[in-house]
Amino acid sequence: MPSTAPVFHNVIEAIGNTPLHEVTALDTGPCRLFLKLENQNPGGSIKDRIGRSMIEAAERDGLIAPGGTIVEATAGNTGLALALVARQKGYRMVLIVPDKMAQEKVFHLRAMGADVITTRSDVGKGHPEYYQDMAERLAGENGWYYINQFANPANPHAHETTTGPEILAQCEAAGVAPDAIVCGVGSGGTATGLSRFFATARPETQFVLADPEGSILGHYIETGEVSTDVGSWLVEGIGEDFVPPVADLSRVKTAYSIPDRESFQAARELLRREGVLGGSSTGTLLAAALRHARRQTESQTIVTFVCDSGNKYLSKMFNDFWMIDNGFMETPHKGDLTDLVA
């Protein structure tokens, strides 16, 4: 008899309960490394969980009424998640998106029924056309609800009540206990919610930050200082130039600062060796998890995430020409094209 996969009556029911994949084809030192496949959520990322939790919290708190409008400032996975859940529940979703974002993302959001308003990418916080300021202003002017993942407690709450318990139950079923969890921080929702859950459920579990080189968060974990020395990075969805208000990183004790090159190579290796197509932040998390695993002297169980699907990055980090153009891969010099067509 085949085991029975669930039957859903609404796509929102398909959010969460994602599988764990054990990495067996990469060198994990003395450790066992598991990836939680958040790319298998219906909207394609870990953000589906907070799309659901933030909208349901607003319903419970009476902040949105049937037929009402929700606004958020992002073209990223949170926008896709909110557009998916809002549509199913009958809310209008407005997304304020900086104009440097890939056209595909805007097409995807519009195809899901969201209204997308593009704004300038070349202005910063405090400018009326900065995407976050614009979302807040439009919400005030039109009576829309600004859901703001960076300050919304329902964001970490989703991970405290779903992602965390799932990881613990799956590890128990596999006969292991999670010694370390490796997280990236965008809004900080994942790291905050998981560390709150494990603080009571299994306090020995350690939290490790995977941070793109250039972000201020790694330095913040190590020193408590918020640096103004911000670099740039190409990995998407994680790393910040500020500490998000919703983030409580007090239980995160170790940080790895990962260069883009190492992140992209890790994501490419994950596809080649394990057959798992993850996005760029998955590369950063995997690279940090592998560094952490190889540093251990005794066996540990480490859990990290495939945060979103690599589909969105096929023309970037999975494209050899893009990798070469950006200095992340060397051009083969053989005098013919064999390496490129191999």
Residue 170 or 309 having the CB closest to ligand PMP: 309
**Using CB under 6 A as the criterion, what x/- string covers residues 296-335 for binding ligand PMP?**
-----------xx---------------------------
- Cα–Cα distance between 210 and 234 in angstroms, integer? 14
- In order, the DSSP letters of 13-44 are GGSS---EEE--SS--TTSEEEEEEGGGSTTS
State yes or no: is 47 an active-site residue. yes
**Using CB under 6 A as the criterion, what x/- string covers residues 34-63 for binding ligand PMP?**
-----------x-x----------------
Set 47, 125, 253, 312: catalytic member:
47
- Cα–Cα distance between 18 and 40 in angstroms, integer? 6
| Residue 178 makes contact with ligand PMP by CB under 6 A | no
**What residues form DSSP beta bridges with 330?**
none
Both tokens of residue 195?
Answer: 């560390």
| Residue 18 makes contact with ligand PMP by CB under 6 A | no
- Cα–Cα distance between 176 and 234 in angstroms, integer? 35
Residue 152 or 206 having the CB closest to ligand PMP: 152
Q: Which of 80, 102, 105, 103 is nearest to 93 (CA)?
A: 80
Q: Which of 272, 316, 332 is nearest to 341 (CA)?
A: 332
| Residue 188 makes contact with ligand PMP by CB under 6 A | yes
Say if residues 283 and 21 touch (Cβ distance below 8 Å). no
- The most distant pair of C-alpha atoms in the chain lies apart, rounded to whole Å, by 67
Cβ 305 to ligand PMP shortest distance, Å? 7
Q: Which residues between 71 and 130 bind ligand PMP (CB under 6 A)? A: 76-77
Q: Which stretch binds ligand PMP (CB under 6 A): 81-89, 187-195, 220-228, 257-265?
A: 187-195
Residues near ligand PMP (CB under 6 A) are 45, 47, 76-77, 184-190, 236-238, 279, 281, 307-308
Give catalytic residue positions.
47
